[in-house]
Amino acid sequence: MEHNYNCILIRFGEIFLKGNNRNYFESLLIKNIKLALTGLNYRFARTQGRYFIEEFDPNDMDEIISRLTKVFGIHSISPTVKVKTDLDEICKVAAAISPKEGVFRVTVKRADKRYPMTSMELGAKIGGYMLYHTGGRLKVDLFDYDFELFVDLRESGYTYLFYDKIMGAQGLPTGCSGNAMLLLSGGIDSPVAGYVMAKRGLKIYAIHYHSFPYTSELALQKVKDLAKKLTPYCGDIKLAVVPFTEIQYAIHEHCPQEFMITIMRRFMMRIAERVARKYECGALITGESLGQVASQTMQSINVTNSVVTLPVFRPLIGNDKAEIIEIANKIDTFDISIRPYEDCCTVFLPKNPVIKPKLSEAIEYENRLDIDTLIDAAVENTVMETITVE
Ligand code: ATP
Ligand code: MG
């Protein structure tokens, strides 16, 4: 009886707090759990505010847990052994799954009040059995212990035994906050920004600007690979690929060098908003971090922000690069982000971008261009692609 975990217990987090919305949040969470477990055999059960994954192939347990840890809205997960509520059986399982040495305690929860012993009595019985049936190298200490065995007697007539609480992804179920459009470059920051906002329940759409022939097919592939890394958390992602070269030519030709980036970013924001509205996205998301580069000073952000009316979420605005990289490593996007392919912003990069652009100047230079025609053409030639869960 080495490996007899036959049930995975799922606890959900913040959605407890949501009062009347609880049913909506729960139905989304359940839908997302089932989506994440696509292709695996299992039975889903829901009792008393917890979910259980049962009747799966034991060989799939690690895979199931790995996928569940990426579903937002899940607070924690425990591999458990589910047995009929029978003290002999419970004791045997407890001894079987127990480490063979160390200090432990047993914590019993008795939701099933029909059971004729108190939680304390049950804990003592089970703990006593474990001491005598595991080779004599265990010790009990209720306050200073290495591991804690939880024994949950549920009203269903079944008991669940487990040790580990594996932290879930936390956050809110994807989709419960609506849709948002992520400006996804090939850099380190924007995929992290997408992840952070998806955690707050947003369904993520992505938009990428590329500059054929200055940026290669490989640069585009990098963006798709980044989006793919987000899918275990976000589900399928619709990616809009926008041809940006004509706009860059126009800016390059008619506007001062140092305003190149500022004006480019104003175009990006406008196009993002157009595409966002088409897909009913209620906000834009960028990976900007205050002061990181010239285009991310307060003045620059003001100038690029002022062309759109949708709210712009910049979840990394207060983060240092090191903090962003930590998350990028956690979600496994970092190694892709540092692949050395050029981004459209590096193609026409001016030597001295303006650090504190004036809005009036940006508007003046930009008005030399036929803004609407350029944007219409870019939007018209945008290609939509769906990046599916890996
Ligand atoms: P990142 O690492 O996310 O690329 P960055 O530090 O390189 O960010 P910028 O290049 O100034 O910063 O870009 C700021 C934000 O603008 C990015 O986080 C992203 O949201 C958006 N962005 C930049 N370039 C592109 C692009 N080619 N396609 C889509 N969005 C872009
Ligand atoms: Mg970038």
pLDDT digits (tens, 9 = 90+) for 89-136: 999 999 999 998 999 999 999 987 888 899 999 999 999 999 999 888
Nearest CA to ligand 1 atom 7: 187
Give residue for tokens 């995929």: 191
Measure CA 275 to chain center: 23
> Residue 182 CA: which ligand 1 atom is closest?
20
Closest-CA residue, ligand 1 atom 26, reads 185
Question: Mean of the pLDDT values across residues 152-173?
Answer: 92
Specify which residues 239 forms β-bridges with. Answer: 206, 385
Ligand positioned closest to the Cα atom of 347: 1
Task: Specify the residue with its C-alpha closest to ligand 1, atom 2.
Answer: 187
Q: Compute the distance from residue 146 Cα to the ligand 2 centre, in Å.
A: 46
287 Cβ closer than 6 Å to some ligand 1 atom = yes
Query: Does the C-beta of 73 come closer than 6 Å to ligand 1?
Result: no
Tokens of 121: 């009595």
**Index of the ligand 1 atom closest to the CA of residue 244:** 27
37 C-alpha to ligand 2 centroid (Å)? 33
> How far apart, in whole angstroms, are the C-alpha atoms of residue 206 and residue 286?
10
**280 alpha carbon – ligand 1 mean position (Å):** 22
* Residue of 182, 183, 184, 185 with the most ligand 1 atoms within 8 Å of its CB, for mutation: 185
Q: Could you tell me if the CB of 248 is within 6 A of ligand 1? A: no
Name the architecture of domain 179-387.
3-Layer(aba) Sandwich (3.40)
- H/E stretch holding 124 reads helix 119-132
pLDDT at position 279, please?
Answer: 97
Section 156-168 average pLDDT: 92
Q: Which ligand is nearest to the CA of 190?
A: 1
| Alpha carbons 361 and 96: distance in angstroms, whole number | 74
Does residue 12 contact residue 75 with C-beta atoms inside 8 Å? yes
The residues with which 206 forms a beta bridge, in sequence order, are: 182, 239
Please tell me whether the peptide bond between 213 and the residue prior to it is cis, using omega within 30 degrees of 0. yes
7-167: CATH class = alpha beta
Cβ(293) to ligand 1 under 6 A?
A: yes
Specify whether the CB–CB gap between 285 and 180 falls below 8 A. yes
- Mutation pick for ligand 1 pocket among 181, 182, 183 (CB with most ligand atoms within 8 Å): 183
pLDDT digits (tens, 9 = 90+) for 235-246: 999 999 999 999
| Protein residue with least CA distance to atom 10, ligand 1 | 345
Q: CB count, 10 Å around CB of 248?
A: 20
Q: Which of 351, 370, 350 is nearest to 260 (CA)?
A: 350
Q: Across all residues in the chain, what is the average pLDDT? A: 92
Among 181, 188, 190, which is best to mutate for testing ligand 1, by the most ligand atoms less than 8 A from CB? Answer: 190
Ligand 1 centre from 192 Cα, in Å?
Answer: 11
The answer to whether 230 touches 195, Cβ cutoff 8 Å, is yes
What percentage of the chain reaches a pLDDT higher than 90? Answer: 81
Of ligand 1's listed atoms, the one at least distance from the Cα of 188 is 2
Q: pLDDT value at position 344? A: 62
- C-alpha 335 – ligand 1 centre gap (Å): 17
More confident residue, 257 or 16: 257
Is residue 103 within a helix (H) or strand (E), and if so which, with residue range?
strand 102-110
Report DSSP state, residue 17: G
Q: Whose CA is nearest to atom 14 of ligand 1?
A: 288
Band of the pLDDT at 18, cuts 50, 70, 90? Answer: low
- Protein residue with its CA nearest to atom 31 in ligand 1: 185
Cβ proximity of 116 and 86 under 8 Å: no
Atom of ligand 1 nearest to the CA of 207: 29
Predicted pLDDT at 103: 96
For residue 173, pLDDT over 50 is answered with yes
Q: Which residue reads 């088409």 in tokens? A: 278
pTM listed for this prediction: 0.91
Ligand nearest to the CA of 209: 1
Q: What is the pLDDT of residue 216?
A: 87
Q: What residue segments make up the domains of the chain, in order of their start?
A: 7-167, 179-387
DSSP secondary structure letters along 192-247: HHHHHHHHBTEEEEEEEEE-TTTS-HHHHHHHHHHHHHHHHHH-SEEEEEEE-HHH
Query: What tokens appear for 29 in the block?
Result: 């969470």
Q: Which atom of ligand 1 has the smallest separation from the CA of 186?
A: 4
Q: Measure 351 CA to ligand 2 centroid, in angstroms.
A: 16
